[in-house]
Chain A
Amino acid sequence: MVEVAFFAGAIGAIGGAIAVVALRNPFYSVLALVVHLVFLAGIFLLLRAQFIAAAQIVVYAGAVMVIYVFVAAYVGGIEEPLFDSAPQLRVFGPVLAAALFIEISIAVLGSALIGLGGEGVADVPAGFGTPEAVGRLMLEDFLIAFEAASMLLLVAAVAAIVLAGRKKETGGAG
């Protein structure tokens, strides 16, 4: 049962990822990424990360993707020729990606890490991955990281307003 769920999720996630890269219209790429993220959230559930899966759907597939949709609609669907990048990259990019995948796979499968072939520790702590456990970790052990993240979001919001805000037209380069 777990295998079926995993492979269904994996096929969906990989298909979505390939569609993001291969579709020519950026608007469709955004929608493909939403599909990818939803399937990936299913895989997160298999790893007992309920809260992360929910946050992924709500924050990523919900909020962040809306920004993408708005921007893709704002700049318009520019249909670019798919493989019209610089000729050396057209060959080099996929080759490098394939080489990296093979290398990481060899590193993972050939490593002597204990338990990699198993399903992880059998006795996970009670409430592992629930909002309560994650929240406890975040507000007790990782409080400084949490506060730094809030500062980062604030700075990013200000930066977006400064970058994309409409300047006075007479202000030269503005």
Chain B
Amino acid sequence: MAIEWYLVLSALLFSIGLAGVLIRRNPVVILLCLELMLSGGGLALLSFSRLHGDGDGQVFVLMVLVVAAAEVVVGLGLVVAMFRRRIPLDVDEMKELQG
């Protein structure tokens, strides 16, 4: 299986995630779509790791896993805090920072 196919697949997954981040309004779903984008990037890293026969890319994917976990924990903490304060879970409604 040519490496190109894996890269095109990773680009497709990244694009689907991007579309989701832009279209959806629920912050939980936006975080899920961010995960899709991260997994697309991870697939590209693993493809190049295989292409060069070098394990560095795999370690990088593990780091991406760690950063994704940290991001999820903080993001979902924010969602829970929003829910507790009765702020509607809709990113379009959160515009107090836009000045």
Name A's B-contacting residues (CB within 8 A): 2-3, 6, 10, 13-14, 17-18, 20-21, 26, 29-30, 33, 36-37, 40, 43-44, 46-49, 51-52, 55-56, 59-60, 63-64, 67-68, 71-72, 74-75, 78, 80, 83-86, 89-90, 92-94, 96-98, 100-101, 104-105, 108-109, 115-121, 123-125, 128-129, 133-134, 137-138, 141-142, 145, 149, 152-153, 155-157, 159-164, 166
Mostly, the A contact residues are helix
Cβ of B99 within 8 Å of any chain A Cβ, yes or no, is no
How many chain B residues touch A (CB < 8 A): the figure is 69
Other-chain contact of B23, A21, A100, A109, A134 (Cβ < 8 Å): A21
Mostly, the B contact residues are helix
B5, closest chain A residue (CB): A6
- A160/B76 in contact, CB under 8 A: yes
- For A97, the chain B residues whose CB sits under 8 A away are 15-16, 18-19, 22
B85, closest chain A residue (CB): A173
- B15/A43 in contact, CB under 8 A: no
- A163/B23 in contact, CB under 8 A: no
